[in-house]
Structure formats: C-alpha cells, structure tokens
Chains A and B, each alone.
Chain A
C-alpha cells in the first residue's frame, strides 16, 4: 500500500485462525492502521489482495462489511446524541431489533461503566468515557470478525482490563479478533498469536512464547552466592555463551549473568560453582519479556535489519 511515494505496508502476508485473538503489534507508524483500513475495505491496496472471512477483499467488500466490527483508532461518535442514543442508533443501523437493542444497551452501559452518563452527550464526557462508548458501540451488533485498532488508548487500567476481558469473552464465543496495540502487556494478556510489524513489514509471526524464544536474544540468570570470590568471577566469565556479568550495586541485589542460551549455560554455571565450593543461595531465570523482544526488533529494524 502506497501513500504518494511512501510505502506504508509492503508485502505483508499472514493468516488469522477462526476464533483466535490475533495481535498486530508495532511502533507508531509501523503500518498497523493502514493494514486494518485495507482489511476493512476502507482503503484499496495499490497491489496484492486478501481474503477476509473467505471473501475477496477487492471484489466482495459488500459481503465482508456486514460480518465485521471495527473500532477505529480515532474517536468517533454522534456529537449531538446522548451515550444511550449513540448506542441505540448504531444498533439500528445494523438492523438490530428494538428489544435486542434495549437489552444490549443495558448490558454494555453496565459493562463499560457508562450507566451514570447514559443521558450525557459525548463532548461532555472524559476521553476515557468516550473511548469506552466507542468500544461498547461495536458490541451492539454481532460480528464474526472484529478489528480493534488500539482500542484501549486513553483508558485507565481498570477500564483497560474490562475491555480486554470483554474481548477475550467474545473470542471464547467464537468471534475472531484482530487487535492492534503497541502496549506489550496487553498483547501478552489477550492475544493467542502475534505479528510484529515495522516499516510496513512483518518481522515476526507466531505465538508469544515462540516469538520470545526465537527473537528474545539473551536471558538473564540471577544468582546469589554465600561467598563470591575472584576465582569464581573469572571462571564464570570464561564460560562459553556468557555475554556479561553485572555485579550487584546494592546488598539486596543479585548477581546478573547475561547468557545467549539459558538452557546450556545454567548447568555449566552450577558446575563451576560446585567445583569452587561456592554455595548458591538463590537462583532465578529471567526470560526476556515481550517488551524486550519488541524493543530489540524495532531497534534492529531501524538499523536496517528488516528480515527475520
């Protein structure tokens, strides 16, 4: 997809399984929103094609749109209508019956904490309340596939948790969710699989655990010894795969050994300690977080290393 001469999304290819929450992660400007705009038929790609729910994106947009729900990144609502009327008219546009609309409005007002402001017009609401209205509105109708473009922007932690839980609940009911965010905690909480995109290209695509394993790089082994000698320090430094050792700066801090592969390094560290009679009092393995993987990938991408 090209905007003038800027390529926003380039050669992106992926499949999303039915009923999964698929996280589409990337820094600002990575191409997440453009991808969603293409998949929701809002933008026509300059080249390439895709199938959404089995329908051709270019020729069957009219069959796709009634089956999807979209929460866009930009806040949108009818300014002159109250919260309740906003929900109601949206359900009406989607041909939801009056009785069903009434039921859903009550459910969503309660779920998203909007009951007290049901008669208030959006311009008088806080940013978080407006966002909650926007997300809630999309659940006024049924959809087989939901596109959520950074739906938690502007939400407080509690509202964020409620939204993510609701998304999970919907996924359990069989709704497929395409979820974009740049908050890795959210992705870890809600997504079954993720793709990391940057500069319009997919850098990784797998389950979160596999992505961490494949792209996580170094692990950190945290240790405490009864006594730490210079012999032990030298021996640990000479072990293959040890990248660096960080000495504690405070009494309550452990020694940190950064290794390429914790599975192979750990037995060797224990062996060295045993051979020097250094008693290990605490041992902890810290795997790289998704945040670490993401930052590392984006940094590599900036350095021109686009390919996996």
Chain B
C-alpha cells in the first residue's frame, strides 16, 4: 500500500518535474531555483493530503464492512476511535512525506532550511494532517455510497492541489482570485 502511495509523488518529481523543467528552462521565472527544486518540497508536503484521503476511505470501508459498528460498541469512546484514525493518518502522512523526502533528496540539493523552518514544516504537516483527516472523516460519515465518496474527494482535492502553488507560482493569478488563495496555502 505504501509503495502504491509513493508512485504518484515520485512520478510528479522525477517525470513531470524534469519534463516541465526542460520546457521552463534552468530556473523558474522570477526565482533562482530550478523547477524540480521548486516542485519537490511541495510534493513532499502534499503527502499529508493524500494520506488524509485514506482516513476517510478507512472509515468508509469500516462502515461498509460493518467493522465500524463493531468497534464503536467496544470498550472505547467515539472520540478515541476518531482520534486513533487521525493519529494513524498523521503518522502515515508524515512517514510518506519523509520517504518521499529521502528519495527526492538528490534533487533537493541547494535547498536550505533554518531550524525555525523545520519546526514550521513539521507543525504544518501535523495541522494539515488533522485538517484534511477531519475533513475526509466528516465526509465519509455522511456519504452513503462509494461513488459519491470518491466524487466528492475528487471535486475537493483536485482544485486544492492545483491552487496550492505546488506545481506553479500563482503570482500571475487574477488579483480578485488571489484573495481566496490563502485557503490553499
């Protein structure tokens, strides 16, 4: 499962990243970093969003296979159940991000991060996991069918991904539109 989850981010960095870099040129316009170096950190952090979508899928699967009802009549509170899902998703997201970071480290040469920067990244990963995990859990509670669950995740996550500035700078976006981009950063 972990291997499957790593295919997409590695594809973004090592296939799409280098392919676009050849079109864009040695440096991203307006910056002094290469496109791959611009792209890779964002893809690493994006792992929490992919892992979070798994949280909802896990709850959805538990519901569909009647394990949800079995677990919640066990010696736990509902909060413990939800919290355990969030923590497991957070750990999964962090692990995925770390593995992608390790594999992508050769292309990250030249990237310097201060100690405060590391703390900022880790806290962003934790908060992001909690946010996206809670969101997908909430969705999976109310959705009745597998198809609807997948459709809603696609509708939500695809725009978030492309509005996150992971793939390109949003400096050129319309000014009215820029006002709402704080949501995706």
State in angstroms the CA–CA spacing of A65 and B70 once bound together.
11
User: With A and B bound together, what is the CA distance between A77 and B61 in angstroms?
Assistant: 11
Say yes or no for B142: interface residue by CB 8 A criterion: no
A40-89 contacts to B (CB < 8 Å): 40-42, 62, 65-66, 68, 70, 72, 74-79
Establish whether residues A72 and B69, one from each chain, have CB atoms under 8 Å apart when the complex forms. Answer: yes
Partner of A93, one of B65, B74, B77: B74
Residue with the highest number of chain A CB atoms closer than 10 Å, among B69, B70, B72, B74: B70
Find out whether the CB atom of A70 lies under 8 angstroms from the CB atom of B66: no
Residues of B near A78 (CB, < 8 A) are: 67
Q: Is B109 an interface residue (CB 8 A)?
A: no
Residues of chain A contacted by B65 (CB below 8 angstroms)? 76-77, 79
The answer, among A62, A77, A94, A95, for a CB contact under 8 Å with B77, is A62
> Taking beta carbons and an 8 Å cutoff, which residues of A are in contact with B?
37, 40-42, 62, 65-66, 68, 70, 72, 74-79, 93-95
Contacts of A65 in B (CB 8 A): 73-76
A66/B67 in contact, CB under 8 A = no
Distance from A223 Cβ to chain B, minimum over Cβ atoms (Å):
53
B67 near A70: Cβ-Cβ < 8 Å: no
Contact flags (1/0) for B52-82 with A, using CB distance below 8 Å?
0000000000000111011111111100000
Q: Which of chain A's residues have a CB closer than 8 A to the CB of B74? A: 65, 93-94
Which of A37, A76, A93 lies in contact with B66, CB distance below 8 A? Answer: A76
Q: How far is the CA of A78 from the CA of B72 in the complex (A)?
A: 15
A93: nearest chain-B partner, CB-CB: B74
12 A–B contacts, CB within 8 A, in A order: A40-B73, A41-B73, A65-B73, A65-B76, A68-B73, A70-B73, A72-B69, A74-B69, A76-B67, A76-B70, A77-B65, A79-B65
Asked if A42 and B66 make an inter-chain contact with CB atoms under 8 angstroms apart, the answer reads no
Q: Which residues of A contact B77 (CB under 8 A)?
A: 62
A40: chain B residues at CB < 8 Å are 73
Minimal beta-carbon separation of A68 from chain B (angstroms) = 7
For the complex, give the distance between the alpha carbons of A126 and B70 in Å.
21
Residue of A nearest to B62 (CB): A76
Give the CA-CA distance A77 to B64 in the complex, in Å. 11
Size class of B's contact patch?
Answer: 10 to 19
CB distance from B164 to the nearest CB of A (A): 32
CA distance A37 to B74 in the complex (A): 13
Cα(A75)–Cα(B66), bound, Å: 7
Question: When chains A and B are docked, how far (Å) is the Cα of A68 from the Cα of B74?
Answer: 8
Specify the chain A residue showing the minimal Cβ separation from B70: A76
B66/A66 in contact, CB under 8 A = no
Q: Which residues of A contact B75 (CB under 8 A)?
A: 65-66, 93-95
In the complex, which of the residues A76, A79, A93 contacts B69, with contact meaning CB atoms closer than 8 Å?
A76
A214 to chain B: closest CB distance in Å?
34
Asked if A72 and B76 sit within 8 Å, CB to CB, the answer is: no
The residue in B65, B67, B73, B77 that gathers the most chain A C-beta atoms within 10 A of its C-beta is: B73
CA separation between A76 and B74, bound complex, in Å?
Answer: 14
Most buried by A among B71, B74, B76, B77: B74
In the assembled complex, how far is the CB of residue B60 from the closest CB belonging to chain A, in whole angstroms?
14
Which chain A residue lies CB-closest to B75? A66
- CB contact between A42 and one of B67, B72, B76 (< 8 Å): that residue: B72
Q: Which residues of the other chain, A, contact B70 by a CB distance below 8 angstroms?
A: 70, 72, 76
Q: How far does the Cβ of A100 sit from chain B's closest Cβ, in whole Å?
A: 16
Bound Cα distance from A72 to B63, whole angstroms: 13
Chain B proximity of A72: nearest CB distance (Å): 6
Separation of A221 and B74 alpha carbons in the complex (Å): 51
A-contact bits for B111-130, CB 8 A (1 contact / 0 none): 00000000000000000000
Flag if A77 contacts B67 (CB, 8 Å): yes
User: CA–CA, A137 to B145, complex, Å?
Assistant: 28
Question: Nearest B residue to A39 by beta-carbon distance?
Answer: B73
Bound Cα distance A66, B70 (Å): 13
Bound: A68/B75 CA distance, A = 9
Minimum-distance CB pairs A-B, first 9: A76-B66, A66-B75, A74-B66, A40-B73, A70-B73, A76-B70, A76-B67, A65-B75, A42-B73
Could you say which residues of chain B place their CB within 8 Å of the CB of A37? 69
CB distance from A150 to the nearest CB of B (A): 13
For B71, list chain A residues within 8 Å (CB).
93
Q: Which residues of B contact A70 (CB under 8 A)?
A: 70, 73
Distance from B28 Cβ to chain A, minimum over Cβ atoms (Å): 43
Residues from chain A with a CB closer than 8 A to the CB of B67 are 76-78
Residues of B within 8 A of A74 (CB): 66, 69
A-side contacts of B73, CB under 8 Å = 40-42, 65, 68, 70, 72
B133 to chain A, nearest CB (A): 21
